[in-house]
Structure 1
Amino acid sequence: MLRSHNLLILATRRLAMATVARKGLVLGFYEGEAEGEVHLTKTAKQFQDEKKKCLPDLLQISGLAAKKGKCNLFVGLDAEYNNVVLTSLGKKGVGVNELEEIDEGKDNVRTGVAAGVKLLHDAGVKTISVDPCNEPEAAAEGAFLSVWAYDELKAADKRKPPPELSLAAGNNDVSQCWERGKILAEGQNLARYLMEGPANKITPTAFAKIAVEKLGSLANVTVTPRDKAWAQSMKMGAFLSVAQGSHEPPVFLEVKYQGAADASTAPLIFVGKGITFDSGGISIKPSENMDYMRADMGGAACALSAIYTAAKLKLPINLVGLMPLTENMPGGSATKPGDVHTAMNGKTIQIDNTDAEGRLVLSDALCYADTFNPCAVVDLATLTGGLVGWLVGWLVVLWLVSRLVVLWLVSRLAGWLVS
């Protein structure tokens, strides 16, 4: 009997591939304490009552996948929603993990909804309604993150457009939380797009152009790409020393968001490392996995994403994003080990290893950040291998400088809130 049930589920999954024109529904349930026990979400219970379907029994017949993030697909269960996914949200009542400082309940919803939506999207379902699962913001974030893909370089007929996603149920407050989650996902997907694109498509100039296209029309946002001549006028010798080995012109991207009621409120500044391709320069990297170095502008991508998200959410804060964008290449005019360059603040820097370019571009950006009289500066960059060696020292510095302690505590709180 169990084998026949498994064959039935396999057949329904295959059938789902042929039902691309039908609507899909993602419903959540929690894993119970007893084996085989499940607890439906409010929306799942409403669906069960309206459709006269006993969902727990169907889960048992299908061979119940109850572990968090696991999905159960049913085809032909309902006339309106031909494809229904019941996705596990893990244990009910899970809250904040104090050690990891994340809300595991929200994370389970994000993971479960993402898995369910992706299953339907992969099956070709074009319209998907999503159970808010008591956490509509997390549900929306998981849903919209799960259907994103970098496919713009594929032939038009090979691309798979994302499905239309909507709330299955909810009042105005739930809808507002859903929209907030959607914005959070959009911001993250912007950073993913920038980091995933090949380096010949996401050059410093192209990065700046995308910033103008995505943020230029947002309220209270100004996007200013600065060229090489401007950087020279600011005496950013450290930044320019990295750029001199590439034929791609450098760009110093400045993005401002004025969300505070008082325009004079000191801004929070994001300084993002923007190496759009890092070959290592003359101190060249090993060839293996060098293509991943297209994402060495992840700090700049996240800085831009943060400001985009803040502007869309209309947060009452002033933000500035500073993104020094350049390639690090071993051209004929590239910086050589042993060369000495002068930063914006007049300090000279001897270059021992040209693959340590991140601190060079950031040094001038941090000097420039100081001219804004910020309330705090957040430095965003892809990890350097040297960090491991002096991590303990950094922690000592962090706790010795009181202002950084405050920033650390605020960062922990922010991380918990968005988890």
Structure 2
Amino acid sequence: MLLLRRILPGRNYCRRFSTSQSHLSDRKGLVLGVFEKDGEGHHLTEAAAGFDQSISGKLSELLKISGPSLKKGKSRLFYGLHEDFPCVAVVGLGKAESGFCGAENLDAGKENIRAAVSTGCRLMQDLEVKRVEVDGCGDAQSAAEGAALGLFSYDQLKSKKKTQVTTRLHGSADATGWAKGLVYAQGQNLARLLMEAPANHVTPTAFADIIEEKISAKVTVHKRSKAWIEEQQMGAFLSVSRGSEEPPVFLELHYRGAPDSAQPPLLLVGKGITFDSGGISLKPSQSMDAMRADMGGAATVCASVVTAAALQLPVNIIGLAPLCENMPSGKATKPGDVVIAKNGKTIQVDNTDAEGRLVLADALSYAHTFNPRAIVNVATLTGAMDVALGSAATGVFTNSDWLWEQLQKASVVTGDRVWRMPLFQHYTRQVTDSQLADLNNIGKYSRSGGACTAAAFLREFVTLPHWAHLDIAGVMSNKDEVPYLRKGMSGRPTRTLVEFAAGLTQNG
């Protein structure tokens, strides 16, 4: 406002804001995109050009005199340009020719749109504008994802909440793509909601109830009790849950979307530790609160099934989530104990904080009973994964080149990247060399290649030729690395899992 008054004193569209600012929340806002030119100036998107024409070129005029070229991710606010939109945010989309970048392993154009649109929508939210129309920016799905992901914040337990903003597509762009993008983003936001919530609010039972409330008619939910888990002889899973007063739940979701009901399902398995204290091998107290999100694998898997059903993808998917807490008590598993997994293998538990692989071992064994076409398990499994890749990408360990190609292709579209990691026998020997049992739950050289030895451990419970393990410990939370996500739990890589499932419908 002050900038415009200094540049254009006395213009009507500057003064008008002073009389309407307090009523912005009752009016609509508008977010428009502009591309950078090689030289000075801007190239307006189709929607921005149409808006500019409707106000006799005032937008172009203001962009020219309000400073240098609007760079990628930057924004400017203008007031009083249009009677229907008292507040207009213009956001920089980078260069129009941005697209797939091999060095970065993503589609830079799509990512630029997500980041720019999220910036514009947050500006509107800060101004308490409740209704916002958004420029599709040439990719309505990415624009919708940026809007919905950028506006999400977990403030359910705060007295003062952020303004709830309703977004819609501006102009006659791709309405189908916009609707699809909103569903993708809502799926990731569901995972963020589950991961961010305190552990006393999202217990294993509460987690299962929340997911049951979100599912559609095409999804069958089974909330398996401790008695069922015992019947299944899931001794590894039960050993983790033993120290907690909260009962374990084995959550099972069946989505039947394929025209052929006999089509082998895609199996998604998610680690569901709703709070991880480390058990007897207690974690340091610093940052232990973040372990409320140690069920991030279960959150992303279940959110992916919910999203696939909402999109009515023509594929059969089964989601499995072994849910429990890992707590220390007189009943808790002790270092050195030996437990028996569902497939009969014995496991020496030398570190009770390496519990995720134990619950997944039984879930993976159970997953094979459905004769799936592929199994993908997702888990915040190792701090070593965070050390290796940080938040840049999800680490993928897989025995299948085909499965890797499908996951990698999906991640390019979503911008939520994956990176292939090794599954050498070198690591397998470190977990099979156990003093008391068939396997040890930590590698022989515990600090070396921790993410790889964890993956090697899981491989001992897989016989299927198409299996992938996604270690999401490094992408569990967001500081400022992903500009269209606020600080907090990220819900990654939900959109990549959904895109991967959607791709299977086209690739057989």
TM-score (norm 2): 0.76
Is the deviation greater in 287-296 or in 20-29?
20-29
**Residues in 2 aligned to 1:308 and 1:152: alpha-carbon distance in whole angstroms:** 21
AA matched with 1:69 = G
1:200 paired with 2:200, answer yes
Are 2:31 and 2:88, in contact at CA under 8 Å, matched by a contact in 1?
yes
Are 1:64 and 1:72, in contact at CA under 8 Å, matched by a contact in 2?
no
Q: CA RMSD in A?
A: 2.5
Identity of aligned residues (%): 51
Are 1:13 and 1:74, in contact at CA under 8 Å, matched by a contact in 2?
no
AA matched with 1:20 = S
AA matched with 1:5 = R
Runs of 5+ consecutive residues of structure 2 not aligned to the other structure: 390-394, 416-508
| 1:283-294 matches, cutoff 5 A | 283-294=281-292
Shift, 1:390, TM fit: 10
Equivalent position to 2:412, from 398, 402, 416 = 416
AA matched with 1:75 = Y
Equivalent position to 1:21, from 20, 26, 42 = 26
Shift, 1:373, TM fit: 0.6
Give the direction of change, closer, same or farther, for the CA distance of 1:315–1:54 in structure 2 (3 Å limit): same
Shift, 1:324, TM fit: 0.4
Q: Which residue of 2 aligns with 1:48?
A: 52
Shift, 1:134, TM fit: 0.9
Give the direction of change, closer, same or farther, for the CA distance of 1:143–1:239 in structure 2 (3 Å limit): same
Q: Which residue of 2 aligns with 1:254?
A: 252
Q: Which residue of 1 aligns with 2:36?
A: 31
Are 2:219 and 2:256, in contact at CA under 8 Å, matched by a contact in 1?
yes
Q: Deviations over 1:160-182 (max 9, x none)?
A: 342121111115xx111110001
Shift, 1:346, TM fit: 1.0
| 1:310-329 matches, cutoff 5 A | 310-329=308-327
Q: Which residue of 1 aligns with 2:337?
A: 339
| 1:141-290 matches, cutoff 5 A | 141-155=145-159, 158-170=160-172, 174-215=174-215, 218-290=216-288
Give the direction of change, closer, same or farther, for the CA distance of 1:134–1:2 in structure 2 (3 Å limit): closer
Runs of 5+ consecutive residues of structure 1 not aligned to the other structure: none
Shift, 1:75, TM fit: 1.3
Shift, 1:389, TM fit: 9.4
| 1:348-367 matches, cutoff 5 A | 348-367=346-365
**Residues in 2 aligned to 1:308 and 1:65: alpha-carbon distance in whole angstroms:** 42
**Residues in 2 aligned to 1:5 and 1:309: alpha-carbon distance in whole angstroms:** 49
> Could you say what secondary structure the match of 1:283 adopts?
coil
> Could you say what secondary structure the match of 1:80 adopts?
coil
Give the direction of change, closer, same or farther, for the CA distance of 1:7–1:148 in structure 2 (3 Å limit): farther
**Residues in 2 aligned to 1:417 and 1:185: alpha-carbon distance in whole angstroms:** 14
Are 1:227 and 1:252, in contact at CA under 8 Å, matched by a contact in 2?
yes
Are 1:242 and 1:326, in contact at CA under 8 Å, matched by a contact in 2?
yes
Shift, 1:417, TM fit: 2.9
TM-score (norm 1): 0.91
Give the direction of change, closer, same or farther, for the CA distance of 1:319–1:55 in structure 2 (3 Å limit): same
Shift, 1:17, TM fit: 6.4
| 1:93-112 matches, cutoff 5 A | 93-112=97-116
> Could you say what secondary structure the match of 2:363 adopts?
helix
Q: Deviations over 1:283-332 (max 9, x none)?
A: 00100011000000000000011111111111111101110000100112
AA matched with 2:171 = A
| 1:123-138 matches, cutoff 5 A | 123-138=127-142
> Could you say what secondary structure the match of 2:317 adopts?
strand
Are 1:16 and 1:83, in contact at CA under 8 Å, matched by a contact in 2?
no
Is the deviation greater in 253-262 or in 142-151?
142-151
Shift, 1:151, TM fit: 1.6
Q: Deviations over 1:18-55 (max 9, x none)?
A: 622221000110011113x1000000011111111332
Are 1:248 and 1:326, in contact at CA under 8 Å, matched by a contact in 2?
yes
Give the direction of change, closer, same or farther, for the CA distance of 1:266–1:14 in structure 2 (3 Å limit): farther
> Could you say what secondary structure the match of 1:345 adopts?
coil
Shift, 1:3, TM fit: 10
Q: Which residue of 1 aligns with 2:499?
A: none
> Could you say what secondary structure the match of 1:183 adopts?
helix
> Could you say what secondary structure the match of 1:81 adopts?
coil
